Structure 1
Amino acid sequence: MSPVIYRAVMQARVANIQALRGLAALAVVVCHAASRSGLDFEVGNAGVELFFVISGFVMVKALSNPDLFLLRRAARILPLYWIVVLTAFAAMTIAPGMSDVRPDFAGSMLLLPLSSDNRILAVSWTLTHEMLFYALLASLPRERAIPLATLAIVALVAAGFTAAPQSPLLQAATDPINLCFVAGMALANVPRGYAPTACIIAALAYFTAIQALSIPASESPARILWFGPAAAILVYGAVFSPLRFRALERLGETSYSLYLVHIPAMKGVAVAFAWLGLGYPNAFWLVAVSTLVGTGMFYVLEHPMIQFASNLAPPRIRVHQLHRLPDRHGAVDRIPQDEGRAVLYRESSLSR
């Protein structure tokens, strides 16, 4: 594989991962908007499984420098999260009747596992899972981190089925949804793809069928079986597919802001509509305003934070790993050292 082709392949993979982030965030937003409007978009909950598979995939790519990765992830995730939590907590304090949550401020700020009654931000449970996964990988020897993390997650999930833990921490650690991280790590080590576009079509058709048949998959104890494999197949297809999904790529850039702020934004839209005497907003308004607020927050807050996180330290390149790379047929070519730096730098944007 020539350096030019390899660079194009890596750029396409980064772009498609970003597009999947956009799809996952949009699915969750539409799901929550539909439920608040008396509609059903049950399958949108699968966006969480999709996020977790992506995280497993990306984390493997960052193992060459896990300390720097964790520093950058914390610099990107936590400040924006804290801003949203503080704003939501202030709103709960000023107008306590707007929410029936008994907020645990310290636990929410620290992303501790909390019950739904104590979370200031409803979606924070997913970030708790992400942080537990990052911490697990960072605590393991780098050379054996993937197999050891896989064994640990599988063992914890198995223990959860037998012990039925009651504490929020043990429930989070043993939740079967963590198997999505394992799927993502496995995908990161697949050398080449077979029929990736067909995999994308099959996964999307499967999710469409779940919605059309009104299967309550997200409420099922077997949720991971309903959503996890299809999410992994979708990531597999997108990583290897030559297709590009440019509209979703743009949404993917703002996906974290949108994911964090969409529920507070929906509550704000409902309050505004009630104050104007317009009744309760329909799903269109909830999605539209949430997307606008999320996009605005990305450009005003998140994007400057990303720039800051990127400048914390230069990426430490392990160029020797890029000197010999398998092409799609399994053959091996050498890549010049400078070209290898450029390729890996672009690939490192997966983690930002």
Structure 2
Amino acid sequence: MTERQVRFDALDSWRGIAALLVALFHFQAAGNFYIVPLVRHGNLAVPFFFVLSGFVITHAYRAKLDERGAGIRFMVRRFGRLYPLHFVTLMVLVGLEFAKLIAVQHGFSGSEGPFQNTNSVPSLIANLFLLQAVIPFPDLSWNAASWSISTEFYTYLVFLAVYSAAGARHRILGCVIAFILSGLFLLYLEVSYPTLNIASGMGMAQCVFGFFAGNLTYELYLRLYNRPALQGTWPELLATVMMVLLFWFKPRFISFDILAFSVIILLFAYEGGAVARGLRNRVMLRLGELSYSIYLCHFIIFSLMFVAVRVLQGKLGIALIERVNGIDVMDFGPHWLMDLVALGYLAVLLVCAVMTYRWIEVPGRRYFNRLAGGRGKGPAIVGAEPRQA
């Protein structure tokens, strides 16, 4: 197949669906949504994002990285895609910590003091440099979802280093070696250190392996493009069933999930069947477009809602939040009421995502694309940023 500029619309829609699953995964409200395995395993969307990122980044840049200065332009553009919204959401959380500090000075107290534990000053510095999941930390910090943004950015550097070191003639071999080594390392961590925190090394291993799995999936996509058996409704139905089963049962090893996601992405990339056509409607495409904002904003929205419920709980003197298996869960009504609360949360989140996409994501991306010396929009790629749990 001759490479051409393509938008993988069905994959972009899947990205939006996955972002909503992550948002619901983090929103603890004791309704029907909360107990559905697809939601309880919603954090599995992050390895999917890693593989999708490797796929679309390879599509957008594999033919461009031979140009003079291409590596610097690549990193500037990727920084501009990730950092502006990350910085803004981080500053919102810093502002909330200052508000907490003022409240403490006026006699109010909470379960955690300002600028302590997960919101410490050292972890803030790490977040500013996108190092919060690259250097070891005991837990996720500040905007917890941003850990995957941290690993994503430095995985771009690994990808660029492999491409540069291997040279144009041996890049596929270099990526195969990176894929094998990172996969073996991830499997070793999963077997030997199953409780290792994603902020302490597991997350970076997942990201590198997932990215190179996506990279090689794209190379396979190019070579199988003229195979009609892969380009119809039945392969897409198979991929959909695989996706549902993965989220429903969540196999133990993320390395297995990453390989399965590679197959799913390959089968949907051709977009020749009825399922892909269904995913290319305006609503689903808009959801995919907003997925990065959904991913980075959801932690702030549900955190504010939990704070409001805690305050109300203290004022009323009745239990509105229950401790279930070590997790705080909002529970102040029947399941249907809690489901309405969850839907309200999603509605607020989508409104915020529209605003941050329009006023932060797009202007930030255009600014850094201009710095990189390209056109305002940059390469037409989708799914390039993982949104993590």
Question: Are 1:311 and 2:370 matched, yes or no?
Answer: yes
Contact 1:33/1:266 (<8 A) preserved: yes
Unaligned runs of 5+ in 1: 317-344
How far is the alpha carbon of 1:249 from its aligned partner? 1.2
Question: For residues 315-326 of structure 1, what are the structure 2 equivalents within 5 Å?
Answer: 315=374
2:129 matched residue in structure 1: 110
Distance 1:238 1:159 in 2: 28
Structure having greater relative contact order (Cα 8 Å, sep ≥ 6): 2
Contact 1:30/1:283 (<8 A) preserved: yes
1:39 maps to amino acid: I
2:285 matched residue in structure 1: 249
Unaligned runs of 5+ in 2: 66-70, 102-109, 321-329, 331-337, 385-389
Question: For residues 249-288 of structure 1, what are the structure 2 equivalents within 5 Å?
Answer: 249-273=285-309, 279=320, 280=330, 282-288=341-347
- Counterpart of 1:128 (choices 132, 150, 154) is 150
Distance 2:234 2:208 in 1: 26
1:324 matched residue in structure 2: none
With structure 1 as the length reference, what TM-score do the two structures score?
Answer: 0.75
Residue-by-residue CA offset, 1:288-340 (whole Å, 9 max, x unaligned): 22222122211121122122233334549xxxxxxxxxxxxxxxxxxxxxxxx
Contact 2:51/2:262 (<8 A) preserved: yes
The root-mean-square deviation of aligned C-alpha atoms, in Å, is: 3.4
2:19 matched residue in structure 1: 25
CA spacing shift, 1:306–1:151, aligned 2, 3 Å: same
CA spacing shift, 1:184–1:196, aligned 2, 3 Å: farther
- Counterpart of 2:178 (choices 152, 175, 183) is 152
| Identity %, equivalent residues | 21
Question: For residues 1-352 of structure 1, what are the structure 2 equivalents within 5 Å?
Answer: 10-11=5-6, 13-33=7-27, 38-40=34-36, 41-61=39-59, 62-63=61-62, 64-65=64-65, 66-95=71-100, 97=110, 101-103=118-120, 104-112=123-131, 113=134, 114-115=136-137, 117=139, 119-140=141-162, 141=164, 142-143=167-168, 144-159=170-185, 161-162=187-188, 170-173=201-204, 175-176=205-206, 178-189=208-219, 190-191=221-222, 192=225, 194-210=230-246, 215-217=249-251, 220=252, 222-225=253-256, 227-242=257-272, 243-244=276-277, 245-246=280-281, 247-273=283-309, 279=320, 280=330, 282-315=341-374, 348-350=379-381
CA spacing shift, 1:53–1:271, aligned 2, 3 Å: same
CA spacing shift, 1:162–1:201, aligned 2, 3 Å: closer
Contact 1:177/1:224 (<8 A) preserved: no
Distance 2:140 2:217 in 1: 35
Distance 2:139 2:30 in 1: 18
2:334 matched residue in structure 1: none
How far is the alpha carbon of 1:57 from its aligned partner? 0.9
Distance 1:303 1:273 in 2: 33
Distance 1:249 1:297 in 2: 17
Distance 2:179 2:246 in 1: 27
SS in 2 for 1:73: helix
Distance 2:285 2:342 in 1: 23
Contact 2:12/2:288 (<8 A) preserved: yes
